[in-house]
Amino acid sequence: MSPKKLNTIAVMTSGGDAPGMNPCIRSVVRTGVANGLQVYGVEGGYEGLMHGHFHPIGARDVGGILQRGGTILQTARSDEFRTSSGQRRAIREMNSAGIDALVVIGGDGSLNGAMVLSQQGIPVVGIPASIDNDIFGTDMCIGVDTALNTIVDSIDKIRDTASSHSRAFLVETMGRASGYLAVLAGIISGAEMVLIPEVQNDVREVGLAIEEAYRRGKTHCIIVVAEGATPTAAELGKTIDELDLGFTTRVTILGHIQRGGKPSAYDRLLASRFGRKAVDFLLNGQYNVMTALDGREIVGVPLEEVVSKPKSLPMEYYDMARVLAQ
Ligand code: F6P
């Protein structure tokens, strides 16, 4: 059976923004237009979908956005869309605008929303975008590479001041419940220790690592702490500062700078590939999947699988971070 003919698709960004969302929007729009589709941009994620905030978006409207962080379509986290009345309202708005299918660019909550719509008969393709890299089924999400570059750049700077003052720094990275960003940042910035939510952390071990770095004659000690780790960087900072470990301690919470900035070359390419593939999937009738990076290939993974399975951290990276930190 040949796939249902689509005339109009919409694209939206949802949840936390991630660098690379703009190149992805551009790719969806231009691939859609090249295939004769009318493309609508939804403003403000699921909030915009429920309130009919759509506008036609053409190839020229997405000029000059490839290098911009954030999302030109705006984004939001919507509580109302989690309710069945919110979902009914979104579907009604889409139907009355004549939108046949939807591309959702976002993280786990957004992809869950996409799956809910797909269960109610809307052809949907999801695209994983989250600096956390915590989405099942894809090796990489849009935004991770840029965030890692920002973190590494920040830690390089922190090390300069840490070395000048002979200090230990606890640097908190984002990642929600995933230690991915922290572990990767630890490896590529040469941190002395990494603390992640996936592993039980011991304050005494942290103290010993700092003391050991001091005894060995290091001029600094950098400990990367994932935001979901226990104890948190702030809690550790208080405890450790009261101990006599050689170094004095400071805490830096990197926060939302990790979500901003120009998307890296890698993120621009990944976003462009995902966007193009998402439209190809829709045109070929391959609905209700997420575009996913599997090695070097972009494949489709069913949304139901994406939202029902946890993505686990490759523990060999954690082990590598420990070995290389000696
Ligand atoms: O999911 C991306 C992320 O930046 C997480 O790493 C972090 O926990 C969360 O979003 C912060 O959300 P908000 O911007 O709503 O404070």
Domain that holds residue 86: 8-143+263-308
pLDDT digits (tens, 9 = 90+) for 184-220: 999 999 999 999 999 998 999 999 999 999 999 999 9
> What local confidence, expressed as pLDDT, does residue 326 receive?
80
> What local confidence, expressed as pLDDT, does residue 1 receive?
59
Residue nearest to atom 14 of ligand 1 (CA): 16
Tell me: do 153 and 176 sit in the same domain. Answer: yes
Q: Give the phi and the psi of residue 122 in degrees, each rounded to 5.
A: -90, 125
Tell me: do 184 and 112 sit in the same domain. Answer: no
Q: Which of 17, 108, 132, 134 is catalytic?
A: 132
Question: CATH no. for residue 212?
Answer: 3.40.50.460
Tell me: do 268 and 241 sit in the same domain. Answer: no
> For a pocket test of ligand 1, which of 132, 135, 196, 253 has the largest count of ligand atoms closer than 8 A to its C-beta?
132
The domain tally of the chain equals 2
- Annotation marks residue 17 as catalytic: no
Helix, strand, coil shares, percent, the chain, to 5 = 45, 20, 35
Tell me: do 247 and 181 sit in the same domain. Answer: yes
Tell me: do 280 and 132 sit in the same domain. Answer: yes
> What local confidence, expressed as pLDDT, does residue 242 receive?
87
As a whole number of angstroms, the distance between CA 208 and CA 1 comes to 65
CB atoms under 10 Å from CB of 139, counted, come to 16
Question: What does the mean pLDDT of the chain come to?
Answer: 96
pTM for the whole structure: 0.97
Contacting residues for 233 by C-beta, under 8 A, at least 6 apart: 170, 171, 172, 225, 251, 253
Distances 285 to 208, 277, 279 between C-alpha atoms, Å: 57, 12, 10
pLDDT band at 3 (very low <50, low <70, confident <90, very high): confident
Report how far ligand 1's centroid is from the alpha carbon of 16 (Å): 6
> What local confidence, expressed as pLDDT, does residue 241 receive?
83
pLDDT digits (tens, 9 = 90+) for 146-179: 999 999 999 999 999 999 999 999 999 999 999 9
> Ligand 1: which residues within 6 Å by Cβ?
16, 107, 130-132, 174-176, 227, 259
As a whole number of angstroms, the distance between CA 186 and CA 177 comes to 17
> What local confidence, expressed as pLDDT, does residue 4 receive?
79
Q: Is 318 a member of any domain?
A: no
Tell me: do 203 and 295 sit in the same domain. Answer: no
Q: Is 182 a member of any domain?
A: yes
Tell me: do 241 and 214 sit in the same domain. Answer: yes
> For a pocket test of ligand 1, which of 148, 173, 176, 227 has the largest count of ligand atoms closer than 8 A to its C-beta?
176
Q: What share of the chain has pLDDT > 90, as a percent?
A: 96
